[in-house]
């Protein structure tokens, strides 16, 4: 199984491992010297907010069932919330970072790092990095109709063009050159 950690100066590190390999998972690592709270939400399922105690991880959910891990500085997830969003669909993973509901980590930064981001067999597995102080973060969604930041990964590489329709945004096309 591939695993993943996010490196760099980001206070909150988000990791993404492909579900095609046995036990794929998403992981949130709190590198802050203060409390960070999360709640994992998917279709029809909503968890109570909880404190991240070092890190939090969850296995990928069912096929075509998007997940949003909401991250905030307040225990009730009040105020600004960043969202680590991902879904497994038709042998592929789509993921993004949403700051539509605020960017509570603007001062410290936040990053998503796929476990295979440096692997030439997976050229579309690229990090999503919001450096400290970059407001708005160009790598994240900042408006509800913002489609430029969706990351779509076809596990297996190769030269191909494809389009993906995320369940909450408009279609986006990608050209993959391996």
> What is the model's pLDDT at position 25?
76
- 147 in a domain, yes or no? yes
- 5 in a domain, yes or no? no
- 23 in a domain, yes or no? yes
> What is the model's pLDDT at position 87?
80
Q: Provide the terminal-to-terminal Cα distance of the chain, rounded to the nearest Å.
A: 22
Distance of alpha carbon 70 from alpha carbon 87, whole angstroms: 15
- 19 in a domain, yes or no? yes
Q: How many domains does the chain have?
A: 1
Between strands 12-16 and 110-114, the pairing is: parallel
> What is the model's pLDDT at position 102?
94
Predicted confidence (pLDDT) per residue in 150-172, tens digit? 555 544 443 333 333 332 222 22
> What is the model's pLDDT at position 12?
59
> What is the model's pLDDT at position 9?
39
Strands, sheet with 110-114, edge to edge from the N-terminal-most edge strand: 55-59, 25-30, 12-16, 110-114, 128-130
Beta strands in 115-155 (DSSP E): 128-130, 151-154
- 1 in a domain, yes or no? no
What is the domain range of residue 27?
Answer: 12-176
- Which residue reads 């069912």 in tokens? 62
- 77 in a domain, yes or no? yes
- 154 in a domain, yes or no? yes
- 153 in a domain, yes or no? yes
In this prediction, the residues of the chain whose per-residue pLDDT falls under 50 are: 1-9, 18-23, 154-178
Q: Which residues contact 138 (CB under 8 A, 6 or more apart)?
A: 149
């Amino acid at each position: 199984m591939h695993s993943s950690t996010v490196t760099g100066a980001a206070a909150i590190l988000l990791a993404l491992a492909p579900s095609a390999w046995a036990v794929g998972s998403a992981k949130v690592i709190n590198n802050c010297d203060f409390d960070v709270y999360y709640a994992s939400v998917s279709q029809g399922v909503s968890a109570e907010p909880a404190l991240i105690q070092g890190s939090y991880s969850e296995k990928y959910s069912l096929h075509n069932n998007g997940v949003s891990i909401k991250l905030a500085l307040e225990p009730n997830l009040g105020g600004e919330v960043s969202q680590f969003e991902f879904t497994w669909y038709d042998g592929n993973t789509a993921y993004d970072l949403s700051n539509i509901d605020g960017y509570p980590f603007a001062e410290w930064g936040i990053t998503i790092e796929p476990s295979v981001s440096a692997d030439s067999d997976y050229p579309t597995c690229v990090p999503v990095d919001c450096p400290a102080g970059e407001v708005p973060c160009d790598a994240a969604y900042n408006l509800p109709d913002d489609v430029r930041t969706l990351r779509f990964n076809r596990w297996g590489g190769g030269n191909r063009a494809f389009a993906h329709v995320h369940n909450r945004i408009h279609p986006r096309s990608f050209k993959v050159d391996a």
